[in-house]
Structure 1
Amino acid sequence: MNSMKFLRHSWASGTLGACLLLGCTATTRNTPPDATMQQQTPTAQTAKPRALGVEMKYFDTSVRPQDDFFRYVNGTWLKTAQIPADKGRYGSFIELRDKSEAALRAIIEEAAAAQDTKAGSDLQKVGDLYQSFMDTARIQSLGVEPVRPDLARVAALKDKKDLPELIGSLARLGVQMPFSTYVGQDAKQADRYIVYANQSGLGLPDRDYYFKQEPRFVETRAAYLTYIETLLRLAGEKDPAGGAKAILALETSLAEKHWDRVRNRDREATYNLKSVAELDKLTPGFSWSRFLQAAGEEKTPGVIIRQPDYFQALASTLASTPLPTLKTYLSFKVLDRYAPLLSSPFEEAHFVFYGKTLQGLQENRPRWKRGVETVELALGEVLGKLYVDRHFSPESKVRMQELVKNLRVAFQKGIDQLEWMSPSTKAQAQAKLAKFNVKIGYPEKWKDYSALTIDKGDLIGNVRRSSEVEFRRNVDKLGKPIDRLEWGMTPQTVNAYYSSTMNEIVFPAAILQPPFFNPEADDATNYGAIGGVIGHEISHGFDDQGSRSDGDGNLRDWWTAEDKTAFQQRTTMLADQYSAFSPLQGLNVNGKLTLGENIGDLSGLTVAYKAYKLSLGEQGAPVIEGFTGDQRFFLGWAQVWRTLNRDDALRQQLLTDPHSPGEYRVNGVVRNMPEFYSAFGVKEGDGAYLPPDKRVKVW
């Protein structure tokens, strides 16, 4: 999480099924699925002893594992670690991101220092883009002038009938508009690309921020009003205070019609296929043909509207809002998009609101870190190729392939053993699992950046051209076959994801290092850590939303009515469990919003445990540092989720993110697993104890 909201791209927002942790986007798939999966057998664990792979110095032995496993494993770290001043949270994921960021810095600064890079080469683009960001003297001297052309386009708007073209053209630059579009696979016809349209337009993190009356939310709205006014004043608007109030009122009216995040998770409710003629009837006064032409999306076979009543209300809002107010709103969105790239008054205003107010940050990230992120967002796979060459070993990929194979076999066996599922639904689930595709480390085919021009004296132009290139890369998919080789994350991303339309799981290189994957560690620890991650992503294909798609990625119902009811009974129990967790006074985990991720965690760790036991074959697991194999398995999972949060960042996570806080990704999972009870002797009366009839097993 960081304050660089401006670098979001609307084209990258929609085709990911689910990912491991907060803040991610993705798509796609590569090699054909393994047709022989069902005939494979797990590879036996080597008898060679390995290291524990768990940092015992962070244990808090004053806490019993039977009472609070998260703090038993991470308690000393929680007491001694400090959240860096430029971060809203800190933990194992952030530590690896910092490591990845430092590796990228070395690559980028080498390119920037090189004297003989060929014009137009990837290294020239990397080095010059970074230099354009680091040239603060030039940026300071230019003030708001680099965005004057975009502001002039807004100022030139004379009639609301021309809004579709303006919104379409600004969207290509990554400027937030009242709605966003992206090209992705049609969820009900996954062999074609189509345009999706999604509600947008809010500067605050979620619709609830506009309406909650608790003091912190009232303060946040006041701070947002100040931020809007500041940007308008810096840009020379005549009435910045009045403009800010009008913008907040407009966004509040948009927020009233926004679907909440739980409703937006419903893949059936958000699938509404419309023709252009039908869209024009839905939004009278707004021409979709003109918008799609301006956005370069005119080749789409239709548009899937995710929230039809929002778009209907949006048309009324656009019609009733005075044209000057709409122009002020669009001008602000341009300024908001580019504020961190402009002179220090803009940059500081952006950080004060998005960093300090919303996340509780004490200081902005060092400029080199923001420069690295700018380069990474524009030239991600150029950096990815260099990162892989230096930091990812072929041996790691081979061992990951073995782990994934064992997890798939374990999931297959787990489906067969489900007592609540009928044979017909099991057969459908097995068919889907057999078609899972797996990507590990890095793409087989790297993206081409030859269309991108980078000038080290033109930061705003560089970012603008990058947005155009990536937008064009996305819309050029229309009418073409599905690109099975495309990745939705770069290799240097510390994350993983499942795509429902591709029916694939993807594990970038950067997550394949300790504490997630440790080549020197005991297999039990690795199965609990990266094995749990693999299981998590597989399980997303069978969570409450992923289970609505079949093995070909098509949204269709393959369940019997009785099995669907049994599944929903289990998932409802799990949602209720998590809704009882309250990490902040007055704010609980939203069990319905986090349900998919919680299913991923519980089912993922369950299948990882099964895979670990299968990997042992006839061998027993040794005791290492006094811990049995089963105990090490759970220790591996628990240390992955050590996390500290600032209250403001945690508040935002609870309201907006489908992932539960780290504490509950440990304690909320293990208390449902009988294997944990056996491993640590959990008994009635212990803090981690749940009565057997209250424990949930989904897969």
Structure 2
Amino acid sequence: PLFSPQRSLEEGPPTARSRPRTLAWRVLMTLLLLGPLLGSSVLLVYVFQSCGPYSCDTPACLDLLTQYLASGNTSMAPCSDFFSFACGKAKRTSNSSQALAEENKSRLRRILEAPSSWPPGSGEEKAFQFYKSCMDTNAIEAAGAGPLRQVIEELGGWRISGNWTSLDFNRTLGLLMSQYGHFPFFRAYLRPHPTLLHTPVIQIDQPEFAVPLKQEQEQKVYAQIVREYLTYLNQLGTLLGGDPDKVLEHASLSISITSRLSQFLRRPQEERQAQTATIAQLQEMAPAIDWLSCLQAIFMPMPLSPSQQLVIHDLEYLREMSQLVGGLQLRHREFLQSHMILGLVNSLSPALDSKFQKARQVLGQKLRELTGRPPVPPHPRWMECVEETGSFFEPTLTALFVQEAFDLHTRKAAMELFLNIKDALINRLGRLSWMKEKARKEAQDQVTRLQVKMGAPEWALEPELATQGYPEVQLGPSFMQSFLSCVRALRARTVQSFQQSSPNHSWHVAPWGVNAYYSKSDHVVVFPAGLLQPPFFHPGYPRAVNFGAAGTIMARELQHIFYQLLLPGGCPACDSQALQGALLCLERHYAALSLPGETFFNHSHRILENAADMGALTIALQAYNKRLLLQRGETTLPSLGLSPQQLFFRSYAQVMCGEPRLQDPQDPHSPPQLRTHGPISNTQAFARHYHCPRETLMNPSSRCQLW
């Protein structure tokens, strides 16, 4: 029996036969007591495993995983070279932003090439027809230079072809700028007034030369650039049927004019100060140009008068340009005409046949080699046609792109991410040791008042505005005629939009673009829909990815609000000694990480951009950590073997992937490797989550406390 009657003590010790029963009894009681405990332990382990991060196996996550595996190099130690760990296999491709921009253009291409039928005369129909005409290279090749010769005849011809009618110089100049979009001696455009918000004003600025000829360049390089440019202009004249001797003479004089004008451009853009003047006052200072008639032609139907206010960005250039043009009108009018025609041919090259485009492509490659800029692979025809269609029919393509790539669910998720970043920044401002109380409150108030534009302008959601019919656009019969009709229509729409002044911010980028920006004048930050796409953002991604990629981009744009504070004397209400100490620490931190053979530029722009990168990672990480506390159920990518926190840093580095040698020397940002290692090595959390030993590159002994 399981249970036997108790014996009295007098009965003595149990017999040998009773001992196994006692042992069995003890084992049974032990199991009964420990069973619930063991069962609850197994249950707790199961619960904790279920509540921990689980793999995201959605198609969006699997596509992202494929990209990460293709770009990463796990043989590299993340604590010594995290850039190579994340981007080691992607260094021979374009950087991440360029890759995303190309993907967005591919999406537009699929939209424009999809079989569809649109109402006759609608915006969609004209956009699709223009794209189709642009892609019809057989028709463009068959037309050859004929449409361009017709344009030149409308301008009075030129001496190169032997058929030249000497028209009034200012009439020709007005036609070039208003009807053909070519500005050979200066640029004139409408922009908001520098001090009066949402008040449009005509602005006069330096021209943009196809080949800026700066004599301060090394003499050998300058001579080679001149030779390549001369070869190119000779090709243009020959393709248009000009006599080779006349072409050479006129091309040489055109280069001489360009060189003289380039010499007048003495001040870089950031050092020029805008000033106001009336048309009448500008006429006195630069009399060779009939300013009233030319500006009236450009900005028709705006009523202009001699008392019209202008904003002038380089008055000294305009004075010297006027003297040069005035002398040429008296002595070499035919060369002045040829100079304008050659510049027009270059600007119309997108609408010309392959011989003209090939000549321009070869010139561009030669100039990049001579100036030390990275080579740019030639764009396929479809990409050029997408870009031209997008510039002329932006409202229509915006509506189609947003409808497909940025629905309300995506916009809501992006806005929620931004609000998390914004709150983290406000909280972070309260912890900065170099900010005194007054400066802190002003900074927090600036962030609170900031407006955000997410995805696309408001009108993109209004079909009747987005699908306007473009009645002023007349397509055909040649692509050149369609192109010029679109140039004129775009100018007219631009003038009309400025006449209908609105308190709303006017976007500076197309919604399918990838460049976010902060507008100081409107105190608004803009994140286009094209930026908030995979691999930077997706509502179904692990939160670590969205905060690490798109979140740091958002935080970085918010840093632009405070650029002025970091400049000398820019923050009187700050602890200047503490601030300068933090900036000096940042400068030394990046100098210690500089790549072999790289010169660390101690330039204000470079320092500001480095500070923005460092602050962006700090703020995005703080926002992500707060979100983890408030909302459980985090996910991660399968097969990478990364925790959510590790995935956060991996996603940040993915945004920076790129080949340093492809970086433009004019780019104020540090090379991609420094943009990755600088902020990450300054973040103690990275060393903790990646278990980096002390004194490794990503876990230095000291860090900076700027943001």
Match of 2:316 among 309, 312, 318: 309
| TM-score, normalising length: structure 2 | 0.77
Residue of structure 2 in register with 1:58 after alignment: 71
Query: In structure 2, what is the equivalent of residue 125 of structure 1?
Result: 126
**For 2:90, what is the secondary structure of its paired residue?**
helix
Q: How does 1:185-264 map to 2 (within 5 A)?
A: 185-204=192-211, 211-213=216-218, 219-238=224-243, 239-259=246-266, 263-264=268-269
Cα separation, 2, equivalents of 1:597 and 1:367: 35
Aligned ranges for residues 112-511 of structure 1 at < 5 Å? 114=116, 117-152=118-153, 153=155, 155=157, 162-163=169-170, 166-167=173-174, 169-170=176-177, 173-204=180-211, 211-213=216-218, 219-238=224-243, 239-259=246-266, 263-265=268-270, 269-296=272-299, 302-321=309-328, 322-355=332-365, 358=368, 364-446=378-460, 447=466, 448-478=468-498, 480-484=500-504, 486-511=506-531
Counterpart CA distance in 1 for 2:484 and 2:610 is 38
Would you say the 8 A contact 2:78–2:690 is kept in 1? yes
- The offset of 1:330, in angstroms, is 1.1
Letter in 2 for 1:467: V
Check the 8 A contact 1:670/1:676 in 2, yes or no: yes
In 2: Cα distance, 1:276 partner to 1:572 partner: 48
Q: 2:89 aligns with which of 72, 76, 80?
A: 76
Structure-2 residue corresponding to 1:523: 543
Instruction: Provide, for residues 454-491 of structure 1, a one-character-per-residue CA deviation record: whole Å limited to 9, x for no partner.
Output: 42433122222222222222223445433516433333
Please, which moves more after superposition, 457-466 or 317-326? 317-326
Asked whether the 8 Å contact 1:97–1:494 carries over to 2, the reply is: yes
Whether the 8 Å CA contact 1:172–1:467 is kept in 2: the answer is yes
**Alpha-carbon separation, structure 1, partners of 2:472 and 2:487:** 10
| Cα separation, 1, equivalents of 2:425 and 2:118 | 50
Query: Which whole-Å CA distance do the structure 2 matches of 1:384 and 1:526 have between them?
Result: 24
Aligned to 2:626: 614
What's 2:651 paired with?
Answer: 636
Letter in 1 for 2:628: L
CA distance in 1, matches of 2:344, 2:311: 26
Task: Choose from 97, 101, 107 the match for 1:97.
Answer: 101
Aligned partner letter, 1:291: C
Cα deviation for residue 527 of structure 1 reads 0.8
- Of the two, which has the highest radius of gyration? 2
Give a deviation string over 1:14-48, Cα, whole Å, max 9, x none.
Answer: xxxxxxxxxxxxxxxxxxxxxxxxxxxxxxxx987
In structure 1, the residue corresponding to 2:262 is in which secondary structure? helix
Cα gap change, 1:677 to 1:538, in 2 (>3 Å) = same
CA deviation string 1:312-352 (max 9, x = no partner): 33233333444333322211111001123212211211222
Instruction: Provide, for residues 63-118 of structure 1, a one-character-per-residue CA deviation record: whole Å limited to 9, x for no partner.
Output: 3333332112111333xx5x4xxxxxx132233233322322222123xx55x543
Equivalent-residue separation in structure 2 for 1:371 and 1:162 (angstroms): 33
Q: Which amino acid aligns with 1:367?
A: R
Using a 3 Å threshold, how does the CA distance of structure 1 residues 334 and 416 change in structure 2: closer, same or farther?
Answer: same
Greater helix fraction, Structure 1 or Structure 2? 2
CA distance, structure 1, for counterparts of residue 441 and residue 157 of structure 2? 60
What RMSD, in angstroms, separates the aligned Cα atoms of the two structures? 3.8
Q: Is 1:133–1:371's contact at 8 Å kept on the other side of the alignment?
A: yes
Cα distance change of structure 1 residues 136 and 486 upon mapping to structure 2, 3 Å threshold? same
More deviation, 238-247/180-189: 238-247
CA contact (8 A) 1:492 1:510 kept: yes
Separation in 1, partners of 2:508, 2:483: 20
* SS class of match (2:120): coil
- Deviation per CA, 1:667-692, whole angstroms, max 9, x where unpaired? 34334445445554667753456674
Is the 1:151–1:334 Cα contact (8 Å) retained in structure 2?
Answer: no
- SS of the equivalent of 2:189 reads strand
Distance 1:235 1:696 in 2: 63
Superposed displacement of residue 524, structure 1: 2.1
How far, CA to CA, are the matches of 1:517 and 1:123 in structure 2? 29
Matched residues in 2 for 1:307 and 1:475: separation? 23
Q: Alignment partner of 2:501: what SS? A: coil
CA contact (8 A) 2:141 2:354 kept: yes
Does 1 or 2 have the higher relative contact order (CA < 8 Å, sep 6+)? 1
Change in CA separation of 1:658 and 1:173 when aligned onto 2, cut-off 3 Å: farther
Q: Which residue in the other structure is 1:36 paired with?
A: none
Quote how far apart the aligned CAs of 1:277 are.
3.7
Q: Which residue of 1 aligns with 2:46?
A: none
Hey, what's the Cα distance between the residues in 1 that align with 2:405 and 2:472? 26
Which of 601, 613, 616 lines up with 1:601 in the alignment?
613
Q: State the Cα distance separating 1:637 from its structure 2 match.
A: 1.0
Give identity over the alignment, percent.
23
Provide the residue aligned with 1:13 in structure 2. none
In the alignment, which residue of structure 1 is the partner of 2:45? none
Q: Which SS does the other structure have where 1:181 is aligned?
A: strand
2:508 & 2:450 partners in 1: Cα distance? Answer: 16
CA distance in 1, matches of 2:396, 2:701: 52
Partner amino acid, structure 1, of 2:248: A
Q: 1:244 to 1:685 in 2, by over 3 A?
A: farther
Residues 244 and 545 of structure 1: CA distance in aligned 2, closer, same or farther (over 3 Å)? farther
Taking a change above 3 Å as real, the CA distance of residues 451 and 607 of structure 1, as seen in their structure-2 partners, is: farther
| Bigger Cα displacement from structure 2, 608-617 vs 538-547 | 538-547
- Mark the CA change 1:315 to 1:578 in structure 2 (over 3 Å): closer, same or farther: farther
Provide closer, same or farther for how the CA distance between residues 257 and 629 of structure 1 changes in structure 2, counting only shifts above 3 A: farther
- Aligned counterparts of 2:652 and 2:388: Cα–Cα separation in 1: 33
TM-score normalised by the chain length of structure 1: 0.78
5+ residue gaps, structure 2: 1-50, 159-163, 461-465
1:537 paired to 2:540: no
* Aligned CA distance change for structure 1 residues 591 and 479 (closer, same or farther; 3 Å): same
Using the alignment, how far apart are the partners of 2:556 and 2:125 within structure 1? 39
Distance change in 2, residues 1:231/1:501 (3 Å) = same
Code of the residue aligned with 2:81 in structure 1: it is D
Query: What corresponds to 1:108 in structure 2?
Result: 112
